[in-house]
Amino acid sequence: MLRTACVVVLVSLVGTPGVGPGGLAEYWPPAVRAGWFLVGFVAAFVVGWYLFEPAVTRVIRRRNRNNPTIQEAISRYVRLLVVVVAVGVGAGVAGFGGVLAGSALVLAALTLALGVAGQQVVGSLLSGLVLVLDPEFNVGDYVVWEDGEGTVLSITLRVTRVRTPSNELVTIPNTVLTEQAITRPYGRRRVMIVDRVEVGYDDDVDLVKGLLVETAAGLDGVLERPAPEAFVDELADDGVVIRVHYWLDAPRPHEAPRITSRYTEAIKERLSAADVTISPASQHELQGSLEIGDTE
């Protein structure tokens, strides 16, 4: 009985249209295309995954050593891009380019819709990439922008987080930082400090300049070269404004205010001991007449 059943099944398969050697030949072209798609996909995937993605990751890590968040995000997006490109390469090798070309209009319309709907988000992402690739903007830098200042804690593709001197955590959209001027006052090996002192017109300007330079040169942390210098900056209404320059040796953000504070205290004592008038009071000359009338 079992032998009879096997014979019936075999006869039914042979007699069924589309099954057998002739029927299998119909599936050969799609199988070849699938094979070429697999070859193209694997080749592009291997090149992108094991060569392109590690190279990009090394560049990102070199420029953002203290930012593991952006390193992971960039690596994830690059891998996604590798998969998409591998699919496109496989489809092109397999001869499915016409299908992709036919769907180009749909993809373009979808891209336009997403661009209009998420313009601000896309702008933040692009700004984030600009900040990540900028070698002059890194985690740990002390930066000053229009609305504040602080130390950069992290840079993501959408926002940058900054710790202010008052220990507040500020989250700034990347579009704000790319549209404004960013200053790095402590981003170099040497930092120049500029201070101004106003003294009276009757005081000895040369004496004041000498005291300003001598006091700066005696502070710890102030460089001998370039040497401190003092200049007459302005003839104000109430006195002479003298500007002094001195250089610090790679100070940390919290060290510079302490040095400038010590300098201000020291120069106040030196000028007071020399009977120099600091920030003279405003004086105005009044002219006119006063009449007293009869009150009776």
Whether residue 210 contacts residue 197, with contact meaning beta carbons closer than 8 Å, is answered with no
Helix, strand or coil, per DSSP, at residue 141: coil
**CATH dotted code for 136-179:** 2.30.30.60
Does the structural domain 190-273 have CATH classification 3.30.70.100? yes
Cα–Cα distance measured from residue 216 to residue 265, given in angstroms and rounded to the nearest whole number: 11
Q: pLDDT tens digit string along 226-275?
A: 889 998 988 888 889 999 988 887 677 677 788 888 898 999 999 999 99
Domain boundaries of the chain, sorted by first residue: 26-102, 136-179, 190-273
Q: Report DSSP letters for 126-139, one per residue.
A: HHHHHHHH-TT--T
pLDDT at 106 over 70: no
pLDDT at 8 over 50: no
> What is the pTM assigned to this prediction?
0.46
Token duo for residue 173? 């959209």
- Model pLDDT, residue 214: 92
Cα–Cα distance measured from residue 85 to residue 41, given in angstroms and rounded to the nearest whole number: 8
Phi, psi of 38 (to 5 degrees): -65, -40
CA trace torsion 193, 199, 205, 209 (10° rounding):
-20
- Model pLDDT, residue 5: 39
Phi, psi of 167 (to 5 degrees): 70, 30
Domains 136-179 and 190-273 share a fold: no
The CA distances from residue 296 to 290, 292, 293, in Å, are 18, 12, 9
> Mean of the per-residue pLDDT values for the chain?
75
- Model pLDDT, residue 186: 63
Percentage of the chain lying above the pLDDT 90 cut = 11
Question: In which band, very low, low, confident or very high, does the pLDDT at 212 lie, cut at 50, 70 and 90?
Answer: very high
**Cross-strand pairs, 234:** 241
- Mean pLDDT computed over 124-145: 75
- Mean pLDDT computed over 276-281: 80
**Cis amide bond preceding 173, omega within 30:** no
Residues recorded for the chain: 296
Q: pLDDT tens digit string along 19-65?
A: 455 555 666 777 777 888 888 889 888 888 888 888 887 877 776 66
